[in-house]
Amino acid sequence: MRLVVLSLLTLVCASAQNLTSPCEPAEEVKEHWRTWVDVDDAAVPYQERRQRQLKRLDDLLAKYPTDVRVNLWKEMLIAGPFRDQRDAAIEEFRKLHEADPNEPSYQFLYAQNLVGVRSEEAISLLEDLLEKEPRFARAHLKLAEIHLFPAFKDSETVIKHLDAFQEAGPDSVDGFAVGRRLNDSTYIERSLPPLRRIVENSEDPLVLRRYEILWSWEFRSRPPNLHDRVRELVRKDIERLESLALTDSIYWYQTLEDGYRVLGDKEASAKIQERFQARFPKSRQSANALQRRWFEENPFPRYGDEDGLDKYGRKNLAATDDWIQRWPEEPGAWSRRLGALNLLKNPPPDMAVSTGDRLLEIYTSQPDSFRSFPPVSYLIAELYLKANIRLDQIPKLVEMGTEELVLDRQRQAQSDYAKPEQQRAGGKGEGNYILRFLVGGPLLVLSHVNRQDYAKARDTLHEMEGWMEESRPNEDDPPELQKAFANKQSLLWELRGRLAEAEGRKPDAAFCYLAAAGINPDPPRPAAYRVNSSERAQRLWKELGGTREGLQAISEHSSTATPQAGSQAKWAESAIPLPDFEITDTDGRLWKLQDLKGKKTFVNLWATWCGFCMPELPVVEKMHKDLAEREDIQVISLNLDENPGVIQPFMEENGYNFPVLPATTFVEKLIPLLSLPRNWIVDPTGMIVHQQLGLDPNVSPEEWLYKKSVELMDAIQSK
Q: How do residues 312-343 score in pLDDT, each as one tens digit?
A: 999 999 999 999 999 888 888 999 999 999 99
Q: Which 3 state secondary structure label does DSSP give 249?
A: coil
DSSP string, 427-460: STT-HHHHHIIIIIHHHHHHHHHHTT-HHHHHHH
**8 A C-beta contact, residue 50 and residue 80:** no
- Name which residue leads in pLDDT, 156 or 464: 156
User: Which tens digits make up the pLDDT trace of 124-137?
Assistant: 999 999 999 999 99
Kindly report which listed range (276-280, 441-445, 446-450, 548-552) carries the lowest average pLDDT score. Answer: 548-552
Lowest mean pLDDT among 442-451, 540-549, 627-636: 540-549
pLDDT in tens, 165-215: 999 989 999 999 999 988 888 999 999 999 999 999 999 998 999 999 999
Q: What is the pLDDT of residues 649-671, one digit of tens each?
A: 999 999 999 999 999 888 888 87
pLDDT at 292 over 90: no
Looking at every residue in the chain, the average pLDDT score rounds to 84
- 557 or 105: which leads in pLDDT: 105
Cα–Cα distance, 579 to 594 (Å, whole number): 10
Mean pLDDT of 524-551: 80
User: Given this model, what pLDDT does residue 428 score?
Assistant: 46
* Residue 219, pLDDT above cutoff 50: yes
* Structure confidence at residue 161 (pLDDT): 97
Whether the pLDDT of residue 236 is over 70: the answer is yes
Model confidence at 162: pLDDT above 70 = yes
In angstroms, the CA 422 to CA 545 distance is 55
Task: Note the pLDDT of residue 8.
Answer: 32
Domains of the chain: 27-223 (1.25.40.10), 371-466 (no CATH), 473-566 (no CATH), 571-715 (3.40.30.10)
Contact 137, 112 (CB under 8 A): no
**DSSP-derived 3-state class of residue 259:** helix
Average pLDDT, stretch 367-382? 83
Confidence of residue 356 (pLDDT cuts 50, 70, 90): very high
- Helix/strand/coil percent split, the chain, to 5: 60, 5, 30
Q: What is the pLDDT of residues 63-111, one digit of tens each?
A: 888 888 788 777 777 766 667 778 888 898 899 999 999 999 999 999 9
Query: What's CA 442's distance to the chain center, in Å?
Result: 26
Predicted confidence at residue 432, as pLDDT, reads 58
Cis omega (within 30 of 0) on the bond before 374?
yes
What is the pLDDT at residue 504?
A: 94
Q: What's the rounded Cα separation, in Å, for the pair 30 and 11?
A: 9
- In this structure, the strands spanning 633-639 and 660-662 are parallel
Tell me, what's the pLDDT at 429? 46
**pLDDT, tens digit, 9 for 90 and up, residues 581-624:** 999 999 999 999 999 999 999 999 999 988 888 888 999 999 99
How far is the C-alpha of 711 from the C-alpha of 703, rounded, in Å?
A: 11
At 701 the pLDDT is 74
CA-to-CA distance for 643 and 55, rounded, in angstroms? 38
- What confidence score (pLDDT) does residue 272 get? 94
> What end-to-end distance do the CA atoms of the chain give, in Å?
45
Neighbours of 267 (CB within 10 A): 8
SS3 216: helix
Measured in degrees and rounded to the nearest 5, phi and psi for residue 524 equal: -75, 125
**pLDDT of 224 strictly over 80:** yes
Position 19 scores a pLDDT of 38
Tell me which residue of 662, 657, 591, 650 sits closest to 626, measured CA to CA. 657
pLDDT tens, 388-398?
999 999 999 99
pLDDT at 1 over 50: no
DSSP letters for 297-308: HSPPPPTT-HHH
What integer pLDDT is reported at residue 208 of this predicted model?
A: 95
- Would you state the pLDDT for residue 544? 86
Give the pLDDT of residue 468: 79
Residue 320 to residue 174: CA distance in whole angstroms: 38
- pLDDT score, position 433: 59
Determine whether 456 is exposed, middle or buried from the number of CB atoms within 10 Å of its CB (0-12, 13-18, 19+): middle
Q: Is the pLDDT of residue 2 over 60?
A: no
* pLDDT over 90 at 625, yes or no: yes
* Region 470-479 average pLDDT: 75
Span of 279-293, 320-334, 401-415, 485-499 with lowest mean pLDDT: 401-415
Residue 697 pLDDT exceeds 80? no
Distance CA 68, CA 50 (A): 20
What interhelical angle do 548-557 and 506-519 show, nearest 10?
50
Predicted local confidence at residue 699, as pLDDT: 64
CA atoms within 13 A on the CB side of 426: 13
Distances (CA, A) of 702 to 447, 618, 654: 36, 10, 18
Write out the DSSP string of 97-154: HHH-TT-HHHHHHHHHHHTTTSHHHHHHHHHHHHHH-TT-THHHHHHHHHTTSGGG--
Of all residues in the chain, what percent carry a pLDDT higher than 90?
Answer: 49
- The pLDDT of residue 14: 37
- Give residue-wise pLDDT tens across range 15-46: 333 433 344 567 777 777 666 656 667 777 77
pTM score: 0.82
Rounded Cα gap, residues 583 and 662, in angstroms:
7
Sign of the CA dihedral with 610 first, then 612, 614, and 619 last? negative
- Lowest-confidence range among 427-436, 562-571, 703-712? 562-571
